[in-house]
Amino acid sequence: MSKICLCLTGKTIKQDVDLLSKYRNYADLAELRVDCLDAGERLYIRRFPELAGIPVILTVRRDVDGGYFTGGEGARLKLLANGLAYANADSRFNFAYVDIEEDFNVPSLEEAARTFGTRIIRSCHDLKGTVNDFSAKLKTMKHSGDEIVKIAVAVNSTRDVLNLFRSSCSFTNQDKILICMGHYGIYSRILSEKFGSFLTYSSALSENVIPGAPGQLDVKRLSELYRFRKITKKTKVYGVIGNPLKSSVSPWFFNTILNLEDADAVYAPFPVTDIGDFMELAKEMDIQGLSVTVPYKESILPYLGQRSAIVQAIGACNTLYRKDDVWVGDNADYAGFSSSLLNFLGKKNLKWQKITILGAGGVSRAVAAEVYNMGGKALILNRTVYKAKEIASRYNFRWGGLDNNGIELMSKYNDIIIQTTSAGMEGHDNSDPAELYTFTGKEAVMDLIYSPPQTPFLKRAADAGCRTLNGYDMVIRQACLQYANFFGREISKKHLLHINSLGEDKWDKIASG
């Protein structure tokens, strides 16, 4: 089974030893990144395996390969030789592995490593995406015998990940390490076992250390949230697709539930650049279910073999699950939104309610439809006015811009205000889309954003005395509906209570180094 390797990138041996003792339970082995150590500290690497107490990889990564070593090859060879010198008959006191590149050719050092049981990891770091044929590369890299071959490639697209996955499938019976570096390859690090990789590299990101490479996950998160060490070839894979997909609550939600249930399933974040490429990968990886977020809710439609009534009616899908070898598409956005809003208001419908909807994007479209279905009368305001008009005309609603004229109209539609724009969203901007509006304090205000928990807009509403709700409750309700689609059962009350007790600002983001 694939192992977790903790990258140690401290400046001193002591820092590395301290970090290892804190995170030892989450890792199977460690990598001593000698290139990150201060020059004076590099003299003391020989004793590191003994201090570590778990198998250690000796690595001196060159700057051209994404590391920090800037000296010449002679100096590097000396460091490696120092690390492997005075081999102990008890192999626990020696480095278990040494990482050397495919262009490293020092037979005497390699021979010495083999003699004392230090296994060679023969590596290739493709930072610019120049390797086209990973299969050919994997076949030709090995210099001899029992080497583990390693390809770490910086990926910029889903196609790159698909290529590496395919190469791995065609290259079995050989220990290999395959890493897709960067945000678009983050799931290759979680689903390392599925990618046929001998190990995955991770860092103690919560300690503010330098990540060993771009896209690495926090070792504790990988081990506890994703239950990396329980993932086998049989584990069922689910996940969320989107782009850029940096702050979805779903991986935290689903994995927390799956963990409570001790289910043999994992839910991964899939940042995707091309939906067609990903759907090929999903088939080849035998993915069982997917949540779909921006911008793929419409472009996913051609891949569905079956559509629920709501998907047919609105032409957008946020949930995919497998049935008889086809993808069935459903949409939990609508039901999640309306049940959250009605619960917040303590009402059964929106009859007699005058409502302002801020925004006229994809989310607003769904909100407007639901407001109409629940009997509300609305005003839609948007920065780009024609989009507001286009949605409003369908339901005989009023429309306007986010300017003085539009905002003035709001005072007649202010029983409930629903904020659907991306203004104030983490990673978007910090603006308030209705800054010209003065709250009376009587409005019920719902902002669909949940990250951050309180946008500048929602804070202003709360400060004015309004009842407020952010999008967290809605997103949890949507996730519960998706869960029922994925697993054909409801989440138990006990587990839901547990999730709710963890709180809306405690969930783990899709953070990577």
What does the binding site for ligand ATR look like in residue numbers (CB under 6 A)? Answer: 294, 359-364, 382-384, 387, 420-423, 429, 431, 433
The Cα–Cα gap between 184 and 160 comes to 9
State the minimum distance, in angstroms, from the CB of residue 467 to ligand ATR.
Answer: 23
Question: 424 Cβ partners below 8 Å, 6+ apart?
Answer: 430, 431, 432, 433, 447, 449, 452, 455, 456, 457, 458
From 120, 66, 76, 132, select the one nearest 95 (Cα to Cα).
120
CA–CA distance, 331 with 320 (Å, rounded to integer): 9
Q: Which residue has the tokens 């609508």?
A: 334
Which residue, 180 or 423, has its beta carbon nearer to ligand ATR? 423
Cβ-based neighbours of 111, under 8 Å, separated by 6 or more: none
Q: Is 297 assigned a catalytic role?
A: yes
67 or 433: CB nearest ligand ATR = 433
- Residue 36 corresponds to which amino acid? C
Q: Strands, DSSP E only, in 183-264?
A: 199-203, 217-218, 236-242
With CB atoms as reference, the residue minimizing the distance to ligand ATR is 361
Min dist. Cβ of residue 235 to ligand ATR (A) = 32
Find the shortest distance in angstroms from Cβ 20 to ligand ATR: 43
Cite the DSSP H helix spans in 225-326: 250-261, 275-284, 309-314
The answer to whether 441 touches 466, Cβ cutoff 8 Å, is yes
Token pair belonging to 366: 């769904």
CA pair distance 461, 455, nearest whole angstrom: 10
Tally of CB atoms within 10 A around 117: 15
Which CB, 133 or 403, lies closer to ligand ATR? Answer: 403
User: At closest approach, how far in Å is the CB of 297 from ligand ATR?
Assistant: 8
15 or 455: CB nearest ligand ATR: 455
Q: CB nearer to ligand ATR: give 412 or 428.
A: 428
Contact 138, 167 (CB under 8 A): yes
CA 107 to CA 234: how far, in whole Å? 40
What number of residues does the chain have?
513
| Residue type present at position 431 | S
Q: Please list the residues that pair with 329 across neighbouring strands.
A: 307, 320
Is the CB of 261 or the CB of 298 nearer to ligand ATR?
298
> Is the CB of residue 337 less than 8 Å from the CB of residue 474?
yes
Sheet of 199-203, strand order: 176-181, 148-154, 119-126, 97-101, 56-59, 29-33, 3-8, 199-203, 217-218
String of b and e for 405-439 (b: at least 16 CB within 10 Å)?
Answer: ebbebbeebbbbbbbbbbbbbbeeeeebbbeebeb
- Nearer Cβ to ligand ATR (131/355): 355
Which residue among the candidates 234, 297, 377, 493 is catalytic per the annotation?
Answer: 297
Q: What is the 3-state secondary structure (H, E, C) of 111-157?
A: HHHHHCCCEEEEEEEECCCCCCCHHHHHHHHCCCCCCEEEEEEECCC
Tokens of 354: 């005058």
- Of residues 16 and 333, the one with the C-beta less far from ligand ATR: 333
With respect to ligand ATR, which residue has the nearer C-beta, 428 or 442? 428
Q: How far is the CB of 434 from ligand ATR (least distance, A)?
A: 9
Residue 391 is encoded by which pair of tokens? 């949605």
The catalytic site residues sit at 297
